[in-house]
Every structure is written in structure tokens, then in C-alpha cells.
Chain A
């Protein structure tokens, strides 16, 4: 009993740790820049995090199963480019949207097939997809930005209801959806089980392959949704759209306390990780820290987040 108590306290300290760091960061940025602490900027951050936030829901599921998805940034780029090219060529918005969502699902299906039947580890499967899909983005766009997006499409990434950006509302809905799926459906509970022990899940009568198929397809769908929002926000299809997003997303999820070894973590805390990454990027930009330094910092944040997770794990084991 005693042991359990100490374990609990550790976890709570970790949760408080990220929140305190977030608050400290906000204070620092507010002190050192003029424009950081303003409603306008906060709305801006809320808009910026919607793309990574939506993908973080999918990434949480993948990491819970003990996998990882490196292809998500390239998928954002691909679906964004595809929708932009279609719309700029006069294709109806609805068709472009459906095509982008379909591509997301197909990529997820392909990832799951490689993992389920070719037994390629998720990291390698999605690394390969990350490279190939980025190639596809350049092929579709010819390496040039695509403009000529219809006005009506802007509402997705630029519109607001009151002070709330529509894209942020979509992200919140996705989070609520993810929360219910993970906590209250057999599919979600089986995701946790697979991460805990895939063999135990199989011996409990779960069709592990089918769960992974469903999950990667859902992840692809969310990636496509994020890609569409990004297209709408920047009002164009950029060949480098989504480049490096996978790392921000993974960092946000791990900061949110999802264990990189799978099976443990809560979506409710992942939203904090997403906000953390959003504030960090926005604040550094406001402070005019150059982009190269920003990358150095983000890398270190990922290392720190994983180190905290592993340290908590080892402690739990030692107890």
C-alpha cells in the first residue's frame, strides 16, 4: 500500500512539473516581449496549435500501442498539397476535402499493412512513408507553392466564432472524441492493452491486427483533417507544409505523460503538452530567437520529456 502511495506522488509531481514549467515560460515571455501577453496573441497560439493538436490525438493512440508515427508531418503536407492543387484547378471544395481525407485513410491502411503483415517496426515503416510522402508532395506541387484557393475554404483555418478560432473548436471536438474513444470504447481500451502486452491482448481474444488497422486509418484521417486546416490557414499549398511537425507532435504527446514504451498515458494531459509546444514556439518567435536555435531547444525538450518518462518508469520498477 505504502509503495503505491509513493508511486502516485511521483506521477503527480511530474504533472505539476510540466504545468509549472509552462507557467514559468509564459511569465518569461510576457516579461521579455511586448506583444506575447495579449488576447490577440493567445488566439493566434490557439489557431497555431490546432494542427498539431488534432494530430496529437492520433499520435497518442499510436504511442499507447508502443508504436510511433513519423509520417504524420509528410501526410499533412501531402493532403494539403492535394487539396490545394484540386481546388486551384476548379474542383469543388467538397470533392477536394473528401479526396484528402481518403488519402489520409489510405496512408494509414498502408502503414498498418506494413506493420501487421510485413512485420516492419512502426518506426521504420513510418520513416519510409515520411520520405516517400514528402517526395509525393514535391511531385504534386512541382516544388512550387499552390495558390488560388477559393475564398469559402478560408473559414476552416481562419474563421472564428466570437474570439474562438474555428480550427481550435475542431481540435477541442477531436480531443473530446479521442477522450471518449480511448476511455469508453472497447477499441480504446484494447489500444491500452496492446501497448501493455500485445501477446496478452491476443490471448485475451483481441484481434490485434484489426485494432491496429482501425487505429492507423483513424490517425491518417486526423492527419488529413489537420492538413486541410493548415491549407486553409496559410491559404495555399506549400511544398514544405508540415515538415518537422511529427517531432513537435511526438514531443507534445510525451510531454503530456504518454509513456514511450506504450500502455500508459492520458489524453487529458496531452492537451497540456500541445499547449506547451505551441507557447514555446510562439514565444521564441516573439523573442526573435533565430530558427536554428529554436530547433536546438525543441530537440532538448524532447530529450527532457523522454528522460522524465523513463525515470518515472525505472522508479516504478525499483519500487
Chain B
């Protein structure tokens, strides 16, 4: 086979999920000895694309060609055996075993029917040497830093024959020192004529490391360029260059007094976060995954420990050590992980809505008044137009939009002033999205401060009166509604 033939070729790959097209007719080729970056916003379809290549998911349509042959019935085991190896951001190591055991897990070398530890240690040593890393194969993985653990993960995949190496956000957990190792390894693998697919949020790495770059947007393949022919501004423009055609309900109020002020908030991840939220205003938080937006909301809400910083409500300093404290101060938070952290799926709508409000429903004997409980609950179901035959329906049986309304109904009972919405419309269909937006506006019009974290650019631009942009645990910019454009938001979020 000629060297200028692609080693891996994807033809017209489409992946549909009920109601969403995650990948739409993507065709892309990868060549030996090339580092090929894939960039795009959150939800552009990068992860889905990788999973199709590794056989973790089956495309709805399209073909994969590997070394000139069509690949049928791809699955993770088969892909691995053929030499397609992926390293994900979440490491897949057994932390209580040694480096050598991890590298050879399930492929042990045997002698007299028993595992030959000396042999696997020697083989591991060779692989690590090839990577140019000094790690003793007998070290327990849990005693290594995250960066080194990742190198072990790479070594694990290189202990097999690898022809295509996929690195999914490999640099995210690494320190600067470890980053250098990673770059050296990618360099070395390129020299070994491997095809490397490199996915990263960090554009500077793309320009430092990669030969080609492909841009994805909203499940579509946009364009592939040689890195030397492009620049960051152009990449950002391609990543966000979408028509803004979704419409958002208008807000009929203007910004009131400052209600929440956060001063110099720091946690293990956040660095010196300061911002204010105002009554009657919708404040958006933009940033890429891992920028620290959810962490900011959780820290203000008392869900995570803070190292330093002050939280002021109406100018008064508040001590917030737990969500219960935050709620007393009028701050509430709707989690992005609605099912795990926002709801009790196996409990009824009534139980969920009233959960935080229960103490207020007690009569003089300390017992919950049934009549009061059901009238309060029914009023909330009606106010928020939750579609259900009865308040006793299990929350598990509701649609995403109605589940979100249940969470909101719970908080609206608590007399809150500041409401954090974390990805408020994730997993919610179009019609219900509009309802959630209207509810958010209604809250702002009632004089509450609405704070929204969103990874959906249209929603962020359409539903925010002001946008704060975060990057790697820091606030890197603030844009008014007029200043905020897709390019500007993504430029700041990418740390450019």
C-alpha cells in the first residue's frame, strides 16, 4: 500500500439519536505520520466521532475504511486489535495495581501457568523507555500524579501494535512539566509513522503540535486545513460561524439593585473569582467544559468547600458553609445533572416539590398538614404548568422539561433571590425549552437575579443580558449583551 493513501477514512458518517443528529454526514481521512487536530465547541460532535472510530457506538449511516479495507461491524475489541487505540480524559487504570500490571492487564505473560511478573515488568520497562519516561514498573499507579498516570495509559496502549492513536483532551489534567512529556511523546509517535488524532480545547497546542486541523460545529464537519495555513482567529470563526436563528422570549424589565456579590472566591480549582448579580438581570456564564463555571455556582451555593473569598447578599457578608446556609440566604442552584443531583427519581412529584419546604408545612404537633401540602403542591404544578395526571406520579416518568420544572418548583417555594441555572435546557426538547426560558424571564421580572451557565452558544447569547467568560478556573472577560458575539465569547473562552 502506498504511504500517501489514508490509513483511516470515514465516509459519510451520520449518527442520529432520538431527536438529535449528533454527526451529520462527516467524511474525513487520516494519514500516517500526521498529527491531526479536531476542534469544535462543546457538543460539536467530537466525542461522538471518536466513539464511532473506536467502535464504542455504531453510526446510523456511513462507512469506515481502514488500511484500504472496509471495516464491518466495528467494535472496541476489534478496533483495538487492528491498532486503533484511544486515550480518554477519564483514565481507565486500576489504581491499586502496579504500573506493569496495568500495562499488561488481561494480557499477562505466563510461565508454568502462573503470571511471570518479571517478564511483564521488563516489557513495561521497554515501553516506558520508548516513551522516554522514567517510571518504575513496580510503582503502584495510585502513587503517581495524574499526569504520570496518563503516561501509563499511553504506555498501556503502546504495548500493543498501534497504528492510529486517539488522544481526547490529553492535556487537560497536566501540569506544564508533564505537558512537555506529552508533546515529546506525540512527536516520537509521529516519527514512528503513527496517525495521531488529537482533540483539544487549547488552540495553542494545535498550532504547536499538529499538522492538520479539522473543525466541527453542531455535528457537522466544516473544514480541514493545514495548520500552517490558518490562525486562531480563523479557527474560532469557523467553530462558531453559525446563523443565529433561534428566537428567545423578550425580557420586560430592567436591571435593579445588586443582590449577590462574590469577592475573590478561590477553591482548589477556582482562582480569585469576583462578580455581581443584579435583580431583574439574566447573567450568563460562558466557558468550555472544565472552565470552572459549575464549580463557581457550587462554591457560592455552599456545595463545595471554598478556600477563601466572601459572599455578600444585599451588601451583607454571609457565612455559607452548606447548601442549607445558601438557601437561607436566598441562593439556590439547579444542577446540570438533574437526574442524579436535582431529583429523587423514585419519589413522587409532590415529594420532590415539597422536599425543602416541608418544615414550613408542619402543624402545631409537628406533623405535616396534608391539606396544606397538597394545596401548595397543586398550586406549583399549576403555576409552572407541569404536565402530569397527578401529583403522586413518580418523577422518573416525566419528560426532561417537566422534570426541570419540578426542580424549579421546589426552589420557587423557598423565596430565593438568586437562582443559578446550570445547563437549564440540557436534554429538553425544543417546545419545553421555550417554556423554561419564559419561566427564567418571569423570575427576572419578579426581581430575582437569574444566573445561567450554558454551553449552548445560541441560548447564552439569546438569554443573557450580560455574559461572564471563564477559562481554566478564572474569569477572563465580561461582555454586555451588545458586545457579545459568538467569536468574542469563544475567543475569550479559549484563552486566546
Contacts and interface: CB of A to CB of B under 8 A. Distances in A.
The residue in B324, B341, B344 that gathers the most chain A C-beta atoms within 10 A of its C-beta is B344
B356 A192 contact: no
B344 A197 contact: yes
B366 interface: yes
A203 B303 contact: yes
A193 B344 contact: yes
A263 B359 contact: no
Given A184-B367, A185-B366, A197 B355 contact: no
Given A186-B358, A207-B324, A263-B346, 18 more contacts: A185-B366, A189-B358, A189-B368, A190-B355, A190-B358, A193-B351, A196-B345, A196-B346, A197-B341, A197-B344, A199-B340, A200-B342, A201-B344, A203-B303, A203-B333, A205-B326, A206-B355, A263-B347
B362 interface: yes
B319 to A, nearest CB: 15
Interface in B331-366: 333, 335, 340-347, 351, 354-356, 358-359, 361-362, 366
B15 interface: no
Contact of A186 (B343, B368, B393): B368
B162 interface: no
A194 to B, nearest CB: 10
A311 interface: no
Given A185-B362, A189-B351, A190-B358, A206 B344 contact: no
3 smallest beta-carbon distances between A and B, as pairs: A186-B358, A196-B344, A205-B327
A190 B322 CA distance: 17
A34 interface: no
The secondary structure that dominates the B interface is mixed
A258 to B, nearest CB: 13
Contacts of B335: 203
B60 interface: no
A234 interface: no
Interface string A78-114: 0000000000000000000000000000000000000
Contacts of B358: 185-186, 189-190
B425 to A, nearest CB: 20
Interface of A: 3-4, 180, 184-186, 189-190, 192-193, 196-197, 199-207, 263-264
A156 to B, nearest CB: 27
B394 interface: yes
Contact of B410 (A4, A196, A204): A204
A245 B359 CA distance: 35
Contacts of B366: 185
B323 interface: yes
Given A186-B362, A204-B356, A192 B342 contact: no
A146 B360 CA distance: 49
B362 A193 contact: no
B367 A185 contact: yes
Contacts of B356: 204-206
A185 B367 CA distance: 5
Contacts of A190: 355, 358
A180 B366 CA distance: 10
Contacts of A207: 322, 324
B391 to A, nearest CB: 14
A3 B397 contact: yes
Nearest to B350: A189
B303 A196 contact: no
Contacts of A184: 367-368, 370
A176 B19 CA distance: 49
Contacts of B324: 205-207
Contacts of A203: 301, 303, 323, 333, 335, 341-342
Interface of B: 301, 303, 322-324, 326-328, 333, 335, 340-347, 351, 354-356, 358-359, 361-362, 366-368, 370, 393-394, 397, 410, 414
B340 A197 contact: yes
Contacts of A200: 340-344
Contacts of A201: 344, 355
Contacts of A192: 344, 347, 351
Contacts of A197: 340-341, 343-344
Contacts of B340: 197, 199-200
Contacts of B354: 189
A16 to B, nearest CB: 21
B402 to A, nearest CB: 14
A3 B398 CA distance: 12
A53 B344 CA distance: 29
A263 B344 contact: yes
A193 B347 contact: yes
9 contacts: A185-B362, A186-B358, A189-B368, A200-B342, A201-B344, A202-B323, A204-B355, A205-B323, A206-B355
Contacts of B303: 202-203
A172 B323 CA distance: 38
A85 B360 CA distance: 46
A264 B301 CA distance: 29
Contacts of A206: 324, 355-356
Contacts of B333: 203
A196 B348 CA distance: 12
Contacts of B343: 197, 200
A4 B367 contact: no
Contacts of A4: 393-394, 397
A197 B393 CA distance: 18
B40 to A, nearest CB: 31
Nearest to B333: A203
A224 to B, nearest CB: 23
A189 B414 CA distance: 17
The residue in A190, A193, A197, A203 that gathers the most chain B C-beta atoms within 10 A of its C-beta is A203
B137 to A, nearest CB: 33
B341 to A, nearest CB: 6
Contacts of A3: 397
Nearest to B342: A200
Contacts of B393: 4
B346 A264 contact: yes
A184 B354 CA distance: 12
Nearest to B410: A204
Given A203-B341, A205-B356, A196 B347 contact: yes
A189 B367 contact: no
A287 B123 CA distance: 67
A197 B356 CA distance: 14
B200 to A, nearest CB: 31
A197 B351 CA distance: 13
Contacts of B355: 189-190, 193, 201, 204, 206
A205 B410 CA distance: 11
The residue in B301, B342, B355, B356 that gathers the most chain A C-beta atoms within 10 A of its C-beta is B355
